Amino acid sequence: MGNKMGINSRRRKQSVSSRKVSRPSPGSSFSLEEPQASEYSKDKRVDDIQQFYNHMRHLWQGCFSAHVEESLIRGSLVLDIGCGTGNWLKEMATEYKYSEFIGVDILPLPDDVNRLKNINFVQSDALEFLPFENNYFDYVRISNMSMCFPENEWGKLLNEMARVLKPGGYVEIEEPDLELYNRGPIADYLMSYFLESYAQYGINVKLYKRLELYLASTNQFTGVEWDHKTLSFSSLIDLTGVSLSEIMSYYFAGNLDLTSQLAGRMAVEERELKSMYNQMQNEMKSYDSKLHYYRFWGRKISM
């Protein structure tokens, strides 16, 4: 999954205006509890992210949808933009030993991933420039970065991806619809703030609706296809036992570096906000809340 790239490094000092939204009613079973953050270690978070990744891979029935299997077996040069904790890189590099994988992220790659011989890492901001030659990679992919990059940067980013991709190579994009469906009262309350914050940062929570258009606007891709899967949080929690509240707080609030700002905006203490995250997990399971994920892939036009 993508990591905290782009937005938080640029706009951390941007102020957030106040807004009033009704809190969950007493009937929603919300109560203020001390969050047990001390019990949730960094290692546990990494493990939960791995479990989340494994579940998503099972949901998609594979790590990719682009038609790259044969070239990966023979040996390809692959770029993963916003590689985050490196779960995708590690699995792919282990499976396709004749291929070379390069990850790009604004934060360092974990040591256990970087030790694999066919993985290299470049610490860089993809929104500034992809530090590679033209026509360099056989396969370029990006995932879970719609919550990190404002929509007005995606045209530039896709053109950069096309620039470093070889003619005949494949591009693949995996992004969610960031609006949570089947929300309970606590999730509905929190999401109203998340969605407004995304809008303030120029993030389109339904970017997936425009990705095919953005790919076409580069005039460099052909045969664009897409697929979609629905993530059920009740199944995710039952099958993996992940601390969903921590993953949600990391990927939703964490990607915008807004935990303290959200607390101020909502007129609550940070501990109350974190308590809401914790209680939201039970609510999302009982309501069977869902996210929709989309993949788009296409081939760069041959010269």
CA 57 to chain centre: 14
Those residues whose C-beta lies under 8 Å from the C-beta of residue 105, and which sit 6 or more positions away, are 2, 3, 5, 82, 83, 84, 121, 123, 124
Sign, Cα dihedral of 112, 114, 119, 125: positive
Mean pLDDT of 235-248: 66
Task: Tell me which amino acid residue 120 is.
Answer: N
Name the average pLDDT for the chain: 82
Query: Residue 280: which residues within 8 A CB-CB, separation 6 or more?
Result: 184, 186, 187, 190, 244, 245, 248
Question: Among 119-128, 147-156, 247-256, whose mean pLDDT is lowest?
Answer: 247-256
**Dihedral angle computed from the Cα positions of residues 32, 36, 42 and 45, in that order, rounded to the nearest 10 degrees:** -60
- Beta-bridged to residue 120, according to DSSP, are 102
d(CA 143, CA 65): 12
User: Would you say domain 41-300 falls under CATH 3.40.50.150?
Assistant: yes
Q: pTM for the complete prediction?
A: 0.83
Sorted by sequence, the CB contacts under 8 Å of residue 133 that are 6+ apart come out as 164
Give the mean model confidence (pLDDT) for residues 33-38: 40
Encode pLDDT of 73-91 as tens digits: 999 999 999 998 899 999 9
Indicate if the pLDDT at residue 20 is higher than 50. no
Residue 7 has pLDDT above 90, yes or no: no
